[in-house]
Amino acid sequence: MKKKRITLKDIAKEFNVSIATVSKALNDSYEISNRTKSMIQEYANELQYKSNQSNFTYEKQKNTKTIGVIIPNMLNHFFTKVFVGIEKIATEKGYNLITCISNESREKEVTAMELLKNSNLDGFILSIAEETQVKKDFNHFKNAINQGIPIVMIDRVTDEIECDKVIVNDDEGAFNAVNYFIKTGCRNIAIVSNIHKLSVGKHRLEGYKRALIEANIPIDENLILKVDEFNDIDTLLKIVLDAKKVDAILCLEEDSAISTLKMVLYKGYKVPEDISIIGFTNGVLPRHVTPAITTVSQHSTYLGEAAAKILIDKIENENIETSYTTKVIKTNLIERDSTKRLH
């Protein structure tokens, strides 16, 4: 359930003192007894009260019409289109956006949240940084929610935080892509992932495995290529293409799909006659390489629009208690020249 934002007035009521007394206590004023200061400060800390950093006497004005957006990587076409969707709805509803990039760093994500909270915004839309998901340290999200600040998580989410979420059905997207390969006669299907540490990467891998199992195709762990700082994509692809018979490759994001296509062609294979390729994220690059790459569209602009609508509804109805929702965006396959056609 949505938690009410704690105010100076709430704290004053708890101790039957004036708002001015609470403000002075939080500012460690000599005018307030040490005993009273200690009680008020401890109570405020327990409730994770957060005031404007520059002035403890300031009370947040309702509906400042400002939303904070924290995105892991603005160079990623998916997040660029998500932001377009958020901005469209925010503009329609008269809201301003303050945007920060975490650059996949938990420290930058925490700093961004503190900065934005002190800017007295109405709520957050965010996608979790890779480092945060790896470390599984979500205290900064819990703190914001405990302070009564609504959060909508998008794409990369965690079950450990209760808030509204808008996600893509990544499992289904990968499942349908692998099924497409199978229907066009492919049996030796590899997967390339440089997002295996993220929630979305794990769901896509689950969909890949589920499709193989349902088609009675054994899962070959050697065909699951996990790219990281220690294993670059070109090296892993060379090894598997030299050692294994591969007739299809599913790439879990846009950059890996482009790199895979280049390496497959470099090794002398024809696409899609010898090897078919499908990539996630329907960005610009997959459309303009040769051959154009078949992609799983995640409808990122619509995702951003949905997140903005949910958050603004929560902001404008903050006195109405509602349960948290998770909206799931379905995917669809956009067929291009990197896959064989279904007959």
pLDDT at 62: 58
User: Phi and psi dihedrals of 124, rounded to 5?
Assistant: -120, 145
Burial (CB count within 10 angstroms: exposed 0-12, middle 13-18, buried 19+), residue 268:
exposed
pLDDT at 50: 61
Confirm if 192 and 207 have CB atoms less than 8 A apart: no
pLDDT at 57: 34
What is the C-alpha separation between 271 and 121, in angstroms, rounded?
Answer: 50
pLDDT at 218: 97
Confirm if 156 and 167 have CB atoms less than 8 A apart: no
What count of Cα atoms within 13 Å lies in the side-chain half-sphere of residue 211? 27
pLDDT at 3: 55
Residue 110: other Cβ atoms inside 10 A:
18
Residue with tokens 């990039």: 101
Beta bridge partners of 98: 68
pTM value? 0.82
For the chain, the first-to-last Cα distance in angstroms comes to 50
**Element counts in the chain: helices (H) and strands (E):** 13, 12
Burial (CB count within 10 angstroms: exposed 0-12, middle 13-18, buried 19+), residue 80:
middle
CA 338-277-231 angle, 5° bins: 140
Nearest-CA neighbor of 31 among 44, 22, 43? 22
What count of Cα atoms within 13 Å lies in the side-chain half-sphere of residue 300? 18
pLDDT tens for the chain, 343 residues long, are: 445 567 777 888 888 888 778 877 877 776 778 888 888 888 888 877 765 433 333 344 557 899 999 999 988 889 999 999 999 999 999 999 999 999 999 999 999 998 888 778 999 999 999 999 999 999 999 988 888 899 999 999 999 999 999 999 999 999 999 999 999 999 999 999 999 999 999 999 999 999 999 999 999 999 999 998 777 999 999 999 998 899 999 999 999 999 999 999 999 999 999 999 999 999 889 999 999 999 999 999 999 999 999 999 999 987 777 889 999 999 999 999 999 998 6
pLDDT at 135: 95
- Residue/partner pairs of 40-46 with CB below 8 Å, 24 or more apart: 40/11, 40/15, 43/11, 43/14, 43/15, 44/6, 44/11
What is the C-alpha separation between 69 and 113, in angstroms, rounded?
Answer: 9
